[in-house]
Structure 1
Amino acid sequence: MYVYESGDATTYTLLKGPAYTPPTGLIRDPSVIKHTDGHYWIVHTTNWTGNTIGFARSKDRVNWQFVANHTLPTTGLARTWAPEWFVDEDGSTHVIVSLDTTNTYTFRPHLLTATDRTLRYWTSPKPLAGLDRSNYIDTFVVRHGGTYHAITKQETTKYLEHAVADRLTGPYTFTGTGDWAGWGSWREGPALVRLPNGGWRAYFDGYAEKRYYYSDSLDGLRTWTPIRQLPGLTGFARHFTVLRENA
């Protein structure tokens, strides 16, 4: 895992790389938050197959310490991919993870909720209603205007799609399918961050082209600017997240 920072959400400067390698030697899809314990935490995919997700933490965003691999107690679990943090407005901390329970590379987003402040104990995975009817991975959720917005990859068609719900657990209703945002297909690993002007920036991986893109929305995630390549990281980075902090 490499760590970068930016003052404008566009031009990123390397802080350290590699900055973290877990005990298993493999890290994919890292997602980051700043927790109330004062640490930065990442959750990540630990392997190509299996039933665990990995956790590490850092005081300075640069030097990371392994915390634990968490085993998901789910029957038939073959693949546990792309966990993403979501911290709700009430402070509750969640992980949304893509699970293949049929060993057919068919994924459905599931929700885990931390049951204590240490982030070591979690509820059992629960499917996100409305997102569990097809093959979806890389689900990133934000809350905007009291509504939960999920940007998720339709793994069969390779489009990033948009669904909304009144509750984190769903049911979610799709408002944008196919090429609804003009981003094209063969996109994955979406990550959203709030911009200083109140808009949102979406980053995503154009993995077939070996490029990384971004696109902005100024109207509440309804319409988006044409995609642009991310300078400095395109062709190198894969499936990251961005954490905005005040100076």
Structure 2
Amino acid sequence: MKRIFIISLLALSITFNSCVQKNYLFSYFNNNGQDGLHLAYSNDGFKWTALKNDKSFLTPTVSKDKLMRDPCIIKGRDGLFHMVWTVSWKDKGIGYASSKDLITWSEQQFIPVMAKEEGARNTWAPEITYDNKTKTYLIYWATTIIGRFPETASKADDGYNHRIYYVTTKDFKTFSETKLLYNPGFNIIDATIVKDKNRFIMFLKDETREPDQKNLKIAYSDNLIGPYSKASEKITGNYWAEGPTVLKIKKDWLVYFDKYREHKYGAIQSSDLVNWTDVSAQISVPKGIRHGTILPIKKRELKKLLKVN
């Protein structure tokens, strides 16, 4: 009887673990983003396999450059997947599309979020974070506005001097006025915000060129639209890093990023957001993967994606 009981417990444990096993989706781009959206999946957050033989799921159609760089996808409270992306190196807006299954997408739209700023040079790496308290989506990105923030102006990196701006929306049809989200006192790009209990955590890139930073840092806020704290000390090593995307697996934070000068991906891990361990040697990603975002998906959603050729 005792042996039967142990076997039954083991079977129950296996069944339970199978039910709670997470599936993750990595949205990313290759090359300059000209062929569109690429997707990969993982069951553990470390080993990633490209879907559709690493062919594009969606070809970009908006803006004169028709690029799809830095794709960010989230699952909305309406059950749809909402995606934003960088459409051009020098345009004043971002791309947007939605999908029920990540396979068939709505008509692509251009959202002119910086159109009212005559001196806006670009609109890079947009992301979306949902605020359950206000039932509102925050869309945010990096822009350089000519003449703004002269205290950190530099001729390096073609004179770009970014800050993070945002709009809010409840339906992706109407949007608030564009406002400044975060000015940390330095050139900043590639912000991504995740909720942790009652606070929001912003992972960001310090884009300062003189003297070199080009690393990832963290800021915190009690509210999604801020104000955010002073940025932390760098959490990445002695290499240039950008495009952070974040997973929390049990108690551990896992931050993926593009080691773009070395043409490879890196990852760091922490249980307290202070002490970080480089786990780059433990990850496996599709060849040529560039800046993107990770989101959890359901098993049935992944099954449909696995059938796409």
In the alignment, does 2:98 pair up with 1:29? no
Q: Quick one: distance in 2 between partners of 1:106 and 1:153? A: 13
Q: Quick one: distance in 1 between partners of 2:127 and 2:229? A: 20
* Alignment gaps of 5+ in structure 2: 1-36, 148-158, 300-309
Q: Deviation per CA, 1:210-241, whole angstroms, max 9, x where unpaired?
A: 0111222222x2222223143133x5111110
Q: Tell me the equivalent position of 1:170.
A: 226
Question: Residue 43 of structure 1 aligns to which amino acid in structure 2?
Answer: V
Higher helix share: 2
Q: Quick one: distance in 2 between partners of 1:9 and 1:62? A: 22
Aligned length: 239
| Larger of the two Rg values belongs to structure | 2
Which has the higher mean CA deviation after the structures are superposed, 59-68 or 18-27?
59-68
TM-score under structure 1 length normalisation: 0.89
Q: Quick one: distance in 2 between partners of 1:208 and 1:138? A: 16
- Residue among 74, 89, 100 paired with 2:116: 74
Preserved CA contact (<8 Å) 2:236 2:268: no
Q: Quick one: distance in 2 between partners of 1:222 and 1:79? A: 32
What secondary structure does 2:284 align onto?
A: coil
- Residue among 170, 173, 180 paired with 1:120: 173
Kindly state the Cα deviation for residue 209 of structure 1 after the two structures are TM-superposed: 0.1
Q: Quick one: distance in 1 between partners of 2:268 and 2:41? A: 18
Identity across the alignment (%) = 30
Preserved CA contact (<8 Å) 1:161 1:176: yes
Question: Residue 15 of structure 1 aligns to which amino acid in structure 2?
Answer: L
TM-score under structure 2 length normalisation: 0.72
Q: Tell me the equivalent position of 1:93.
A: 137
Q: Tell me the equivalent position of 2:186.
A: 134
Q: Tell me the equivalent position of 2:15.
A: none
Q: Quick one: distance in 2 between partners of 1:182 and 1:67? A: 35
Kindly state the Cα deviation for residue 33 of structure 1 after the two structures are TM-superposed: 0.5
Aligned pairs (5 A) from 1:46-65: 46-65=87-106
Question: Residue 41 of structure 2 aligns to which amino acid in structure 1?
Answer: E
Kindly state the Cα deviation for residue 189 of structure 1 after the two structures are TM-superposed: 0.3
Kindly state the Cα deviation for residue 79 of structure 1 after the two structures are TM-superposed: 0.4
What secondary structure does 1:128 align onto?
A: strand
* Alignment gaps of 5+ in structure 1: none
Structural RMSD (CA): 1.9
Question: Residue 78 of structure 1 aligns to which amino acid in structure 2?
Answer: R
Kindly state the Cα deviation for residue 130 of structure 1 after the two structures are TM-superposed: 4.2
Q: Quick one: distance in 1 between partners of 2:201 and 2:69? A: 24
Q: Alpha carbons of 1:70 and 1:184: their partners in 2 closer, same or farther (altered >3 Å)? A: same
Q: Tell me the equivalent position of 1:13.
A: 49
Q: Alpha carbons of 1:40 and 1:100: their partners in 2 closer, same or farther (altered >3 Å)? A: same
Question: Residue 171 of structure 1 aligns to which amino acid in structure 2?
Answer: P
- Residue among 165, 181, 187 paired with 2:241: 187
